[in-house]
Every structure is written in structure tokens, then in C-alpha cells.
Chains A and B, each alone.
Chain A
């Protein structure tokens, strides 16, 4: 059973471009969480999605950021018109249910660098 997959692992964008980050949850998992980690800091919650639904986006900036988890395919975190402050590691995690801390698994992350 493959783990949580994220791609790309590293992404370089120039200011003003769009960044698109993908996350494929573990097989059988229908709950996806996105987190952002700045250097030397802990992970900060961004958004929680189930298939075709955004459950909680309280941690996501109101502008330029959006997320989706379609019926088919991976979850996508989209950042439009990137700025240098968006440079960070973005992790997604998946779980088979909305509770059960020991059943949340993290992907390897996408390291976004904005030039």
C-alpha cells in the first residue's frame, strides 16, 4: 500500500507565477489536510478537505490560495501570483476518517521556492 504521494517534490517559481501542488492520499483515505512549514517552524494547518468538499479552510489565506479534492484524482493546492513569502514546505496528510490521530499519515512534502 503506497503512502501519501506528493509532487513535485521541489518547485521553483518566479514572483507572479502560479504554483500547483498535488497530493494523492493513501488508498482508502478520503480525508486530506494541507499544512505549511516555514524554516525552523512547526507545521501550520491550512485546509481540510474530503472528496469534493472543503470542510475547513480557516488556515488558508483568503487571496491567491485555493484547494480542491475532486471525486477523481489528487488533491490540488493552488497558489496564484506567488510571492517570496510563499516559499515554504507544503505537506499534505491523509486519514481514513476525521478522527484517530494515529491514523494520519504525511506525504514527503513539496518544497516551494519563489525567486
Chain B
């Protein structure tokens, strides 16, 4: 089977840096993606890592270590609008876009 583990909640202050970890167990690996979801909103794609290393997109970066079955999302220069839930996800063992999601990490950014 496939499963993903991530912390349920993280709290940080404006301007700080926060790291949201995700460990996964999959029968085949096709990459790790991250989604942001504000309350009442739709999941929005943030990043995707298929290979080891760090991918940077503005204030957000995502890291993957396939040997450790581990990745993280790094959010820098936190803003209040970053308060949301963040989900890591992997494609199903078939490799196509059927996504298996973690339970989500709720990030609260305080002034």
C-alpha cells in the first residue's frame, strides 16, 4: 500500500521560516508533490520533485530524498496569507495522476 505521514499542525510568526516534513511509503515512486489549501478553498499545486534535491520557487522550496523516502516543504519569509493546510501527495503505484494525499499540515502564521 501507499501512505504518507506529515505533522498535523505547525505554528510560526510572520517573517520566519518553517519546514513541513513528509515521509512516505510507496510500492513504486513517481515523485512527491505539494499542495496548498486555504479553508473552504481548492487544493492548489505548489511543487513537484521527481529527483533528489531542492527545488526553489520564490519563497517556497521543496526537497526530496528518495533513499530516505522523505521530503519537505520550506516556506520562507512567512506571510499571514500563508496560513493554510499543506498536503504532500504521491501518484499511485500505476504512475498516473491518481494522487494519494497525506492528512495535511495546518500552518498558522501569527503576527
Contacts and interface: CB of A to CB of B under 8 A. Distances in A.
Interface of A: 31, 33, 35, 40-45, 48, 56, 91, 93, 95, 98-102, 104-109
**Lowest 3 CB-CB distances: which A-B pairs, in order?**
A42-B101, A98-B96, A106-B42
Interface in B3-37: 30-31, 33
Q: Interface range on chain B: under 10, 10 to 19, 20 to 34, or 35 or more?
A: 20 to 34
A98 B98 CA distance: 9
A45 B98 CA distance: 7
Given A42-B87, A42-B101, A45-B100, A106 B48 contact: no
Nearest to A55: B96
Contacts of B101: 35, 42-44
27 contacts: A33-B97, A35-B99, A42-B101, A42-B103, A44-B101, A45-B92, A45-B100, A48-B96, A48-B98, A56-B94, A91-B43, A93-B97, A99-B91, A99-B96, A99-B97, A101-B30, A102-B45, A104-B45, A104-B97, A105-B45, A106-B42, A106-B44, A107-B42, A108-B41, A108-B42, A109-B41, A109-B42
